[in-house]
Amino acid sequence: MGAENALYIILVEKIRQDALVLPTLPEIALKVRQAADDPEISLGKMSEIISHDAALSLGMLKVANSVAYGREVKTDSVSKAVTRIGLRQIKSIATAMAVEQMFISDNRVISEYMQSSWRKTVDVASVAIALMTRYIQKNKQTPLTLETLTLAALIHNIGILPILTEAEGHPTVFAKPAFLNKAINKFSHVIGAEMTKAWGFSEDYTELVLSWNDLSFLPKDVHYIDFIRAGAVYHEIFKNESTRDFLLRSYVDKGILPKLNFMASAEFSDVLVKARSMF
């Protein structure tokens, strides 16, 4: 218990003193985000920016050729991939790909934890994207956008990174699942919110990272958080059965789900496979 409390104390003190080292968003992601926000940016210029990073180029080709985009003809051209994906979605996808590269560690325990955490994030994101794809098709006037949800879902648990990095600095004491689980449950949402601020994301992302697992926050209208929580329900991240049932009923009432058991249907499985193929 002593080591567990020590990790808590270290994190709390560093947060209080604003001394916790937050990971910085990779330069290529910053460039893509800045370019995407430029109203004068062209597809050709965006392709040029992406082409300077081999990993991002390959990632964009994978996304463009995934079943999510429903194209039988594959492309091996970054410019065609950019055209197929679209400027708005590229901003979110490029950021997510950059974030994935941050889930790396030389410590075996931390590395396994990072990889597991990223897989879980992608699992939740895939469900959220699949549900929103269907929702937008049925509600074309909604102000919600798929590109915003994509990024939100892929950073909803980003606060685990500084925690794991802190544990990596004291591996013999903190690089243990029991400590990490409790530290993540206690602090990741607060730290994640600070990361969104440090990265210059909008307040909507900060609110989402801070509140997605706080079930006292129940948006009246359809919200991005609803789709992410639906992913958490699907993958049993919310352990309480009554909580899962309550959320599912609310999503039926909001029109996110057509029926309670929709996520167990073959129809949903088909959409989920397409969403998951992007990753």
Q: CA 41 to CA 81: how far, in whole Å?
A: 16
- Cα 95 off chain centre by: 10
The segment with the largest mean pLDDT, out of 65-74, 192-201, 266-275, is 266-275
Greatest mean pLDDT among 35-44, 127-136, 179-188 lies in 127-136
| Contacting residues for 63 by C-beta, under 8 A, at least 6 apart | 69, 81, 85, 93, 278
Q: Is the pLDDT reported for residue 118 higher than 60?
A: yes
Structure tokens at 11: 């994190």
Share of the chain above pLDDT 70, in %: 92
- pLDDT given for residue 175 in this prediction: 65
Spell out a b/e string for 218-233, using b for 16 or more CB atoms within 10 Å of the CB, else e: eeeebbbbbbbbbbbb
DSSP states of 91-113: HHHHHHHHHHTT---SSHHHHHH
Query: Which pTM was predicted?
Result: 0.84
pLDDT in tens, 188-238: 888 889 889 888 899 999 999 999 999 999 999 999 999 999 999 999 999
Report how far residue 130's alpha carbon sits from residue 57's, in angstroms, rounded to the nearest whole number: 24
6-20, 22-36, 127-141, 189-203: segment of lowest average pLDDT: 6-20
Token pair for 79: 């410019």
CA–chain centroid gap for 236, Å, is: 17
Q: Of 164, 153, 162, 159, give the one whose Cα is nearest residue 121.
A: 153
Question: Cα separations (Å) of 3 from 24, 225, 250, 263?
Answer: 28, 34, 41, 41
pLDDT at 70: 66
Amino acid at residue number 134: R
CA distances from 142 to 58, 65, 145, 206 (A): 32, 27, 8, 21
Residue-wise pLDDT tens digits, 40-57: 998 889 999 999 888 889
Mean model confidence pLDDT for the chain: 87
126-154: average pLDDT: 93
What tokens does 3 get?
A: 């080591």
CATH architecture of 105-276: Orthogonal Bundle (1.10)
CA Rg value for the chain: 19
Q: Is the predicted pLDDT of residue 69 greater than 80, yes or no?
A: no
pLDDT of residue 14: 76
Domain boundaries, the chain: 24-101, 105-276
Angle, alpha carbons 37-39-45 (nearest 5°): 80
Q: Flag whether pLDDT at 19 surpasses 90.
A: no
Pair 117, 163: CB distance under 8 Å: no
pLDDT at 156: 94
Q: Higher model confidence: residue 21 or residue 239? A: 239
Q: What pLDDT, on the 0 to 100 scale, is given for residue 5?
A: 61
Q: Residue 46 in 3-state DSSP?
A: helix
The whole-number average pLDDT for the span 233-245 is 94
Question: 184 with 163: CB under 8 angstroms?
Answer: yes
| Distance between CA atoms of residues 63 and 69, nearest Å | 8
pLDDT, tens digit (0-9, with 9 covering 90-100), for 151-185: 899 999 998 888 888 777 777 766 667 777 777 88
Which tokens go with 104? 């790396």
Both tokens of 253, joined, read 């009432």
Distance separating alpha carbons of residues 78 and 84, to the nearest angstrom: 10
Alpha-carbon gap, residue 120 to 117, rounded angstroms: 5
Distance separating alpha carbons of residues 208 and 193, to the nearest angstrom: 8
Identify the band that residue 109 occupies on the pLDDT scale cut at 50, 70 and 90. Answer: confident
CA distance 201 to 186: 23
Task: Report pLDDT for 1.
Answer: 47
pLDDT at 2: 54
